[in-house]
Amino acid sequence: MRFAEELLLLLHSDKSGYFVPIPEWKMSCALAGAVLMDLAMEDRIDSDLTSLTLADSTPTGDELLDPTLADITAAQNVHAPQYWVERIATRRADDIGDVAIDRLVKAGIFESDTGGFMSLSSKVTRTGRYPLVDGRSGEEIKGRIMRTLLDDEIPDPREAAIIGLVNYCGGFPAMMEPEEYELAQDRIELFSGLDLIGRAIGPAVRSSYRPPESMRAARRRPLPEANLWDMISSRSFRAGNIPKFMAEQSERLGPVFRLKVPGRNMVVLAGEEANTWISKKGRLHLRTRDYLEGFQTEWGTARSIASMDGAEHFRMRKTVKAGNSRQVVVDRLDELFALGRRSFEGWGIGNTVPGEMSCQRFIGEQISQLSVSIKPSETVTGVLDDLLLFEYRALLVHVMQVLPRFTLRTPRMNRYRKRVLELYALIHAAHTPAQREGKRRDLVDDLMDLHHADPQFLPETDLGFAFIAPIIAGHYTGSAMAFTIYELVKNPDLLERIRAEADALFANGDPKGEDLDPAAIDVAHRFIMEVLRLHPVIPIQMRTAMNAFEIDGIEVPAYASVLCAFPATHYMEKHFPEPEKFDIDRYTEPRSEHRRTAAYTPFGVGTHVCGGARWTELQMLANLLLIARHLELELVPRDYQLKLSPLPKISPAKSFKFRVTGHRHPLEPAAGPSAA
């Protein structure tokens, strides 16, 4: 293991799922120092306190070390270690960190969450040892170093060097309890000076110097602006296509710009560079709490997964992981098909069906049953509609701030709120131990366990909203499904190919989760991917800049309201040629446009990236197959052209309607081989 990997393991906090909070610049210098220390160990460089010289330019074959070795080889003059620490910290620290993390994940030492959180793998936690790598396994480093510092053990030279590195970047106070640190301080200082290499590089890390604010400010560019005129003169904006509008502005102004509209002052981050920054650095600079405060109060809750940051957010993500996973949909596919067929029955034949609202009910019934084990249509008729309307109004008032508060206090809204409280109670009542006996665990079971284990962390006041969060998230799936139906009718050739896949899958009875292998669902899967690209239902997410930051030479001040327009990339020609064309071949080799860095982002980027992404893909796919199997559809009118409703999220406008003109197969489970 290289020093950079050991450094990250030492500075990792299993509680927060990330690294202990030391200043970014110090962390960069420590990673630079770690690489220099390994180059010295590999006899490629010599170093004392005043000079660092090249000893051997032969590449080591290690991608973690060779780029830095190449820099030193190419240098004309000899420089001090501090020069190299600062230079590498500025130019290479991000890559060094990424490569080291990647290697730890590949070695099975770290497990990573899609939101960029990391935890030690359960095997390392359990055994205190790393998995076998190249025939070797070692004792987990944190335990080893702590014993050295607190139990009078003598470190070997490598351990002394890494102790020095952590010490010089200020890591120990952040990773130890204050009492421990006080006890260990003398030994830390003693060991930090023991190793020769550490003695040369370590102080360079400690005294490394970030260019002063005034020098950095001189390099900065002013924040470019998009104003009201840019908005109203944009055809995309007028059509409600917010991702396309953001893409146009980002292509014109760069990844960071101010959106200046009367009464609002917002900074937009859009484009792949901004997405990459959000996923790598966002956690240190952006927080979600502020913009959700009023919205959550309406539901009687103080906080939710969406408004948490840091360690508590990581804990909550771990709690809801199983309940929002794809496996739930796999295990309950038969229920999904049955509910889907029931929705189709309700659509009838020959009736004009309101597209968006019908899809909301269609998906809402499924999510309620699969996620929280209730059947709204059988128990609390109409509650899904009430919930949806209340949510939209609360978003428009508190998050988008386009409606005044009193609009949430009308008798109708009060009635909806009351119904939401009834729903909380209903879900709660359905989750007593007696009610749940013998049933597959669901999300609410996991939330209840957490509530019982730690009622301070997840109090009763926050439970209700946590219960219905997947139903609210399902409103995005509802709109995405409405877009799916529109595109299906508009692309008859693809419909035929999906029908062929569906007929093959349903030929011997309803398919099981394991039947949906990539080859069997190739066209349907790419169809869903393209729906999610062309119609990203969540065009922006709001954040507050809790620390100032800089992207592309532009500073965003603390307290700024930040709009992360992550799917703006979906409408950028450089990532998705002819972005407005519905083209499922983008996702096949060699084009593979979805693999471009930070370009395909229907589920967001950063620590809050969608926890139900894989659930959603499978749910949409299964429903697409079910529609293709059973329904003949047409739009009303037949030549209808899609119009968008951009608030509070992107959905097809109310004018979108369709009609079932016939059933290809009766609305009942496909007959299996035994029935045949």
Closest of 515, 502, 536, 441 to residue 625, by C-alpha: 502
291 near ligand HEM, judged by CB under 6 A = no
Which stretch, 171-179, 407-415, 511-519, 604-612, contacts ligand HEM (CB under 6 A)?
604-612
Q: Judged by CB, which is closer to ligand HEM: 6, or 391?
A: 391
CB of 641 to ligand HEM, least distance (A): 23
Q: 283: closest CA among 656, 6, 606, 637?
A: 606
Q: Pick from 192, 250, 360, 477: which binds ligand HEM (CB under 6 A)?
A: 477
Q: Which stretch binds ligand HEM (CB under 6 A): 195-203, 407-415, 589-597, 608-616?
A: 608-616
Binding part of the chain for ligand HEM, among 171-179, 459-467, 611-619, 633-641 by CB under 6 A, reads 611-619
The maximal CA–CA distance of the chain, rounded, in angstroms, is 85
Using CB under 6 A as the binding rule, whether residue 540 contacts ligand HEM is answered as no
* Closer Cβ to ligand HEM, 305 or 568, answer by number: 305
317 binds ligand HEM (CB under 6 A): yes
Per CB under 6 A, 373 contacts ligand HEM = no
CB 151 within 8 A of CB 187: no
Contacting ligand HEM (CB under 6 A), which of 88, 480, 572, 635? 480
Q: Which stretch binds ligand HEM (CB under 6 A): 150-158, 348-356, 476-484, 571-579?
A: 476-484
Tell which one of 416, 600, 603, 658 touches ligand HEM (CB under 6 A). Answer: 603
Measure the CA dihedral 305/307/310/314, to 10°.
10
Helices (H), 176-309: 178-192, 196-206, 213-219, 228-232, 235-238, 242-253, 272-285, 289-298
Residue with the shortest CB distance to ligand HEM: 612
Distance CA 73, CA 364 (A): 61
Q: How many residues of this chain interact with ligand HEM, rule: CB under 6 A?
A: 28
Residue of 27, 184, 529, 538 that binds ligand HEM (CB under 6 A): 538
Any contact of residue 610 with ligand HEM (CB under 6 A)?
yes
Contacts of 612 (CB under 8 A, 6+ apart): 324, 470, 473
Taking the C-alpha atoms of residue 355 and residue 507, their distance in angstroms, rounded to an integer, is: 29
Round to the nearest angstrom and report the end-to-end CA distance of the chain.
60
- Least distance CB 177 / ligand HEM (angstroms): 28
Q: Which one of 476, 486, 587, 656 is in contact with ligand HEM (CB under 6 A)?
A: 476
Residues 6 or more apart from 244 whose CB is under 8 A from it? 236, 568, 571, 579, 580
Q: Is 598 left (phi over 0), alpha (psi -120 to 50) or beta?
A: left
**254 or 536: CB nearest ligand HEM:** 536
- DSSP labels, 110-147: EEE-TTS-EEE-HHHHHHSBPPPBTTB--B-HHHHHHH
Tell me which stretch binds ligand HEM (CB under 6 A): 32-40, 90-98, 574-582, 602-610: 602-610
Phi, psi of 658 (to 5 degrees): -140, 175
Backbone angles phi, psi at 28, to 5 degrees: -60, -40
User: Would you tell me which residues interact with ligand HEM (CB under 6 A)?
Assistant: 115, 288, 305-306, 317, 320, 324, 367, 371, 470, 473-474, 476-477, 480, 537-538, 541, 602-604, 608-612, 615-616
